[in-house]
Amino acid sequence: MTEVVGIYARISEDPMLQEKGVTRQLEDGRALAQSRGWTVLDEWVDNDLSALRGGPRPAYEALMTAASRGEITRIVAYGMARLWRNRKERVDAIELLAAARVSISLVKGSDIDLTSAAGRMVAGILGEADTLESELKGERVARAALQRAEEGRANGAVAYGWRRIYEQDKNGRVLGFTDEVDESEAAIVREIVDRLLARESLNVITADLNAREVPTPYGGDRSWGTSSVRKLALRLSNIARRKRAGEDFGPAAWPPIVEQDKHDQVVALLTDPSRVQTRGGARQHLLTFGIGCCGKCGSALRVSNRWVNQRRKELGKTPLYVCDAASSCVGRRQEWVDDLVERVVVRRLQEPDARDLLTRDDVAAQAAREHAAGIRARLQAAADDYADDLLDRDQFHRINAKLRPALEEADREAMRLVVGVPSDMVTEMVGPQAQERWKQLTVLQRRALLTAMGVTVTVMPSRGGPGFKPESVRIQFERDDDQATPEAIRNMPTDFLEARS
């Protein structure tokens, strides 16, 4: 009876996807089948897929299905390692093939009869040797990766913002490499960080990079996405810190391209939990989400489109700031309240001492960063002592278990305490030009400025009657003793009050 065989080919790594390796395996498998007079039912190929980690191999799974259905009587492969390197997968497959009475023939090996106990033993022994080889290789790779991390060297391709300089011997063999700053790419990273700190949105920055056709870190014709822009701004590598297993592992061997202070601010900004909760919607209004509040119950303000005059519905609904509580204690026209806040804030920014409102108190943040640096130094000292056999493994792990959570907490505290706006925004906003500069800011930038100045806006309940009553809106600056509204109202242009009557 003629054997009906299936030929299987696999190669773990084929980064260029040229399929030369699997093509050679198929050619050798066909030659073996032809020399034995076997009929080839089909060929199954998994290119650029590892067999060690037990991940999906679509062609292999189809091959096993064909075997279990009795469509083939023999599998031809270049070597046992092409079929299995994962221990559990190998055991399951041997049982399946034995039940289906399917044997194996290897181009670089022998025939293996899986219907006999001896054949199954041979398959297991050969497979275990392949698994051992893969696991040993994995351990060597992991140890080399750990050594690179300990030395602060990059793992893999050079990151966006740097270029790689290779060191070679006289025969052209690579001895090592260093990563130096690529000024054109580093400038893009710095631009992204600065624009985020100026409270430009990720969407705006992303659209601008694509409109300018700025090359992405991924090369080719790929465009920028908000997630890639965000990841680029948050990278520890920007401040020359090495990341391993998702954690800060220590100093890197490459130079930084972003200042530590700016990195701390952008991390605090982008990882702010409220940023996720609101998805940006509430932040598109000047006084929502914490800046404005209800003067009766203390709840935050939100914007709601409502009828303000039932007899004039043809004008449409009007956006109002309303209390976020179910009782809706207060309600004011958003346009009028925003205009009042703008006039008061701009007038305050034009005062000689306005810069004091925007002076960043970074002492606490600096102390938190120094505390975190001290913990890192202790962790590094413990690692050095362990390497020098001054500590045993248990002592080293106890120190890490105690200090790692403390380091994470110190880092979080440093991020939380960094508040403020970029210094160039402060310089531009203070003085006679405040009015013009304010008009150029986006809503997000205006919100950031109000937060930095410690502005809170309280909308008080007001008696009925037509018109807007500015005195019912209280505007407070954190470092000013008096509320700003009374003086602002006294100096309010007549047309402002008349227009709201």
Q: What was the pLDDT predicted at 476?
A: 87
Query: Phi and psi of 379, rounded to 5°?
Result: -65, -40
Q: Which CATH number fits the domain that encloses residue 36?
A: 3.40.50.1390
Q: Within this chain, do residues 370 and 321 fall inside the same structural domain, yes or no?
A: no
Residue 171 domain flag:
no
Q: Within this chain, do residues 40 and 184 fall inside the same structural domain, yes or no?
A: no
Going through 239-365 in order, the beta strands assigned E by DSSP cover 241-244, 247-251, 292-294, 301-306, 318-323, 331-333
Q: What was the pLDDT predicted at 389?
A: 83
Q: Within this chain, do residues 138 and 212 fall inside the same structural domain, yes or no?
A: no
Residue 376 domain flag:
yes
Q: Within this chain, do residues 343 and 226 fall inside the same structural domain, yes or no?
A: no
Q: Within this chain, do residues 30 and 84 fall inside the same structural domain, yes or no?
A: yes
Task: Give 494's pLDDT tier (boundaries 50, 70, 90).
Answer: very low
**pLDDT, mean of residues 326-355:** 85
Q: How many separate domains does the chain show?
A: 4
| Residue where a domain stops, chosen among 209, 236, 271 | 271
Q: What was the pLDDT predicted at 16?
A: 47
The CB-based long-range contact list for 412-415 (8 Å cut-off, 24+ gap) reads: 413/368, 413/371, 414/264, 414/365, 414/368, 414/369, 414/371, 414/372, 415/264, 415/267, 415/268, 415/271
Q: Which tens digit of pLDDT belongs to each residue from 230-281?
A: 999 999 889 888 776 666 767 887 899 999 888 988 888 888 765 544 444 4
Contact assessment for residue 477 and residue 469, using Cβ atoms and an 8 Å cutoff: no
Residue 474 domain flag:
yes
The DSSP line for 143-161 is HHHHHHHHTT---SSPPTT
Q: Within this chain, do residues 242 and 389 fall inside the same structural domain, yes or no?
A: no
| Residue with token string 């045993």 | 392
DSSP-assigned letter for residue 244: E
Give the Cα separation of 298 and 122 in Å (integer). 77
Tell me, what amino acid is at 243? K
| Residue where a domain stops, chosen among 93, 121, 146 | 146
Q: Within this chain, do residues 105 and 69 fall inside the same structural domain, yes or no?
A: yes
Q: Residues in the chain, how many?
A: 501
Residue 290 domain flag:
yes
pLDDT greater than 80 at residue 19: no
Q: What was the pLDDT predicted at 37?
A: 92
| Residue with token string 């392949």 | 130
Q: What was the pLDDT predicted at 52?
A: 56
Give the Cα separation of 304 and 351 in Å (integer). 34
Q: Which tens digit of pLDDT belongs to each residue from 93-140?
A: 898 999 999 999 999 888 999 889 888 888 878 877 777 776 676 667
Residue 392 domain flag:
yes
Contact assessment for residue 123 and residue 94, using Cβ atoms and an 8 Å cutoff: yes
Q: Within this chain, do residues 16 and 94 fall inside the same structural domain, yes or no?
A: yes
Degrees, nearest 5: CA angle 394-397-400:
150
Residue 132 domain flag:
yes
Most confident of 26-35, 234-243, 271-280, 484-493: 26-35
- 370 is in which domain, residue-wise? 363-417
Q: Which tens digit of pLDDT belongs to each residue from 47-83?
A: 877 655 556 788 999 999 999 999 999 999 998 888 8
| Residue where a domain stops, chosen among 120, 146, 172 | 146
Residue 151 domain flag:
no
How far, in Å, are 53, 189, 231 from residue 236 at the CA level?
29, 12, 10
Q: What was the pLDDT predicted at 76?
A: 94
| Least confident among 43-52, 76-85, 163-172, 444-453 | 43-52
Q: Within this chain, do residues 296 and 214 fall inside the same structural domain, yes or no?
A: no
Q: Within this chain, do residues 29 and 99 fall inside the same structural domain, yes or no?
A: yes
Q: Which CATH number fits the domain that encloses residue 232?
A: 3.90.1750.20
Residue 17 domain flag:
yes
393-417 vs 260-270: helix crossing angle, rounded to 10: 80
Q: Within this chain, do residues 345 and 392 fall inside the same structural domain, yes or no?
A: no
Q: Within this chain, do residues 189 and 325 fall inside the same structural domain, yes or no?
A: no
pLDDT greater than 60 at residue 328: yes
In which element (H, E) is residue 373 found? helix 363-387
**pLDDT, mean of residues 393-417:** 78
